[in-house]
């Protein structure tokens, strides 16, 4: 926009065709990919994103007729010159007659293409009680009506902050009800930073993986452990990472962890692998499903994903077709298709061997677990791949499995500073003379078990068991000492 006085060196802040972006209306988010002439539905409205291309991230748009988006200046608030205001609400009666405009009138206004702003103004003028409302109540009324009738959409850059808030609000089940502040704790407690070699085991649609990737900025390596046919990275895609970020992202099947630990894993085991274990998985993977999968089946898969969502809420945009996939469809040449598939299969095998090598070095810089599975077996086996003096964090939606995990880890030894915790998050309304906590807050955002690995050999683990008995059941006296310490 011409508002930018200085032309920044990089053009990263401009929205480009093909970018993964997040649409924002009030507090509602939706992740989409910018594609020309593609209809997007958001908050009961549909429009095209063609006009956002070339604008800065953070620009606000208004939906105009024909689903076109027009940039809108944020600050032109309607300075409603309503000086008249009541003192309190003693004379306001809820008789349902205060608004003279009927639903049909409003609909007619909308159909005429009247802007949301003007509709709100008309609503105010036709409200018999507006003038009697207190100034505060007037503000609230305007805000409420604006929210309903003004179709204002901001396009923002995806980030862990936005995507984790979006998922928690819209599809918490897909991320195991992990609240965004819990994810924030995991990233900090796990000391996630550039250059790490991280092990990530998650079943949170790839959100946790994406968050870890963002914090590592393409430096270091990540091994994603996955259950079933392949890793799920629907949310990871929404981050819109550069391709280079994926060069050091490996995946390794959970089902082969024990082989790796007891030394029976070998590259020879790979070619005999059945096709279905190679077949992929999620709706937006870059890898192709096995040969039998027709394009139709893939499409159905996407539809299914959409239907799985809460009916009242809109779905997050599922990024359907990777360019590579499109290519195949266009060519439609079965021979090429088979060759391509075999090439991919070979490449995948190679990557898996590389991942196995990385794990076998047993010097990972950290472990993050956030899955729908019981945390104990995962923590016990995956910690084997972590170097001493490194943090690990285990998430669980429930507290009790983590209590068990804590006990088992103490028995195993090789870990110190174990801590079971959760966080409380409270939002505030801040207004002059009217500041207080918001009326509603989240009742729980999941639990974390964190700790630090240390050197662990057999003797040590024995003494750790002793220590466990010492520390875990402190006598009344010991407990007193601890308390007075703190």
Partner 1 sequence: MSFVEYEELIKEGDTAIIFLGHGSMFPVQVQRGAQTQTKYGVIRHSAHLIGQPFGSRVTCSKGGWVYVLHPTPELWTLNLPHRTQILYSTDISIITMMLELKPGSVVCESGTGSGSLSHAIIRTVAPTGHLHTVEFHQQRAQKAEEEFREHRVDRWVTVRNQDVCKNGFGVSHVADAVFLDIPSPWEAIGHAKDALKVEGGRLCSFSPCIEQVQRTCQALAEHGFIEVTTLEILLREYNVRTANLPLPDLGGALDPLPVLGEAQFKIGVPLRETVGHTGYLTFASKSLF
Binder to partner 1 among 82, 126, 348, 423 (CB under 8 A)? Answer: 423
Contacts of 91 (CB under 8 A, 6+ apart): 132
Is residue 13 part of the contact set for partner 1 (CB under 8 A)?
yes
Query: d(Cα 182, Cα 159) in Å, to the nearest integer?
Result: 16
Could you identify the residue written with the tokens 């509602």? Answer: 28
Q: Which of residues 124-163 bind partner 1 (CB under 8 A)?
A: 159-161
| Total interface residues for partner 1 by CB under 8 A | 80
Question: Pick from 36, 424, 462, 480: which binds partner 1 (CB under 8 A)?
Answer: 424
Site for partner 1 in 442-471 (CB under 8 A): 452-455, 460, 467, 471
User: Residue 219 Cβ, how far from partner 1 at the closest point, in Å?
Assistant: 6
Count of other CB atoms within 10 angstroms of residue 464: 21
Q: Which residues, numbered 392-411, are part of the site for partner 1 (CB under 8 A)?
A: 399-400, 402-404, 406-407
The nearest distance, CB 169 to partner 1, in angstroms, is: 14
Q: From the CB of 323, what's the least distance to partner 1, in Å? A: 26
Binding to partner 1 in span 51-90, by CB under 8 A? 56-59, 73-75
Backbone phi, then psi, for 158, in 5-degree steps? -65, 145
Residue with tokens 């799985």: 308
Q: Least separation, in Å, of the C-beta of 382 and partner 1?
A: 17
- 8 A C-beta contact, residue 269 and residue 349: no
Task: Give the binding range for partner 1 (CB under 8 A) out of 304-312, 315-323, 339-347, 432-440.
Answer: 432-440
Segment near partner 1 (CB under 8 A); pick from 265-273, 321-329, 333-341, 389-397? 389-397
Binding residues for partner 1 restricted to 244-303, rule: CB under 8 A: none
The verdict on 380 binding partner 1 (CB under 8 A) reads no
DSSP per-residue letters across 331-395: H--HHHHHHHHHHHHHHHHHHHHHHHHHHHTT-BSEEEEE-SS-HHHHHHHHGGGBPSS-EEEEE
How far apart (Å, rounded) are the C-alpha atoms in residues 302 and 296?
Answer: 10
Among 78, 269, 338, 416, binds partner 1 (CB under 8 A): 416
Minimal distance in Å, beta carbon 483 to partner 1? 7
Does 169 contact partner 1 by CB under 8 A?
A: no
Q: Which residues from 306-365 bind partner 1, rule CB under 8 A?
A: 363, 365
312-333 as b/e, with b when 16 or more CB fall inside 10 Å? Answer: eebbbbbbeeeeebeebeeeee
CA distance 332 to 283: 20
Minimal distance, residue 365 CB to partner 1, in Å: 5
Number of other CB atoms surrounding residue 356 within 10 Å: 19
Binding of partner 1 by 482 (CB under 8 A) = yes
189 makes contact with partner 1 (CB under 8 A): yes
């Amino acid at each position: 926009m011409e508002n930018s006085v200085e032309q920044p060196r990089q053009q990263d802040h401009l929205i480009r065709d093909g970018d993964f972006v997040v649409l924002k209306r009030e507090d509602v988010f939706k992740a989409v990919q910018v594609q020309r002439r593609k209809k997007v539905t958001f908050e009961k409205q549909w429009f095209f994103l063609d006009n956002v291309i070339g604008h800065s991230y953070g620009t606000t748009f208004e939906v105009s007729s024909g689903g076109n988006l027009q940039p809108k200046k944020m600050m032109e608030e309607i300075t409603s010159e309503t000086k008249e205001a009541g003192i309190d609400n003693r004379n306001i009666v809820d008789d349902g007659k205060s608004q003279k405009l009927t639903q049909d009138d409003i609909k007619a206004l909308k159909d005429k293409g009247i802007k949301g702003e003007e509709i709100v103004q008309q609503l105010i003028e036709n409200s018999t009680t507006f003038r009697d409302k207190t100034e505060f109540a007037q503000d609230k009324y305007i805000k409420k009506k604006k929210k309903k009738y003004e179709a204002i959409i901001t396009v923002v850059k995806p980030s862990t902050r936005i995507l984790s808030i979006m998922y928690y609000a819209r599809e918490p089940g897909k991320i195991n009800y992990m609240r965004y502040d819990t994810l924030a704790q995991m990233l900090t407690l796990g000391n996630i930073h550039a250059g790490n070699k991280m092990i990530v085991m998650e079943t949170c649609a790839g959100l946790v993986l994406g968050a870890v990737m963002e914090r590592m900025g393409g430096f270091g390596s990540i091994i994603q452990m996955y259950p079933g046919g392949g890793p799920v990275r629907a949310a990871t895609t929404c981050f819109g990472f550069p391709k280079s970020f994926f060069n050091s992202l490996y995946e390794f099947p959970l089902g082969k962890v024990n082989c790796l630990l007891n030394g029976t894993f070998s590259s020879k085991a790979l070619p005999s692998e059945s096709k279905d274990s190679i077949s992929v998985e999620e709706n937006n993977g870059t890898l192709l499903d096995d040969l039998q999968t027709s394009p139709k089946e893939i499409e159905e898969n996407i539809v299914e994903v959409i239907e799985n969502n809460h009916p009242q809420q809109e779905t997050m945009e599922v990024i359907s077709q990777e360019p590579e996939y499109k290519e195949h469809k266009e060519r439609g040449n079965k021979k090429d298709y088979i060759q391509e598939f075999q090439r991919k299969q070979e490449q995948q095998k190679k990557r898996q061997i590389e991942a196995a090598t990385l794990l076998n070095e047993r010097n990972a810089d950290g472990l993050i677990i956030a899955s729908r599975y019981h945390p104990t077996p995962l923590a016990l086996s995956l910690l084997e791949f972590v170097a001493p003096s490194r943090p690990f964090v285990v998430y669980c939606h429930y507290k009790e499995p983590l209590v068990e995990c804590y006990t088992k880890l103490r028995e195993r030894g090789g870990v110190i500073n174990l801590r079971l915790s959760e966080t409380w998050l409270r939002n505030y309304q801040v207004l002059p003379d009217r500041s207080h906590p918001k009326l509603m807050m989240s009742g729980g955002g999941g639990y974390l078990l964190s700790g630090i690995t240390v050197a662990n050999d057999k003797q040590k683990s024995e003494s750790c068991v002793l220590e466990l008995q010492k520390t875990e059941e402190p006598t009344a006296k010991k407990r007193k000492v601890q308390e007075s310490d703190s």
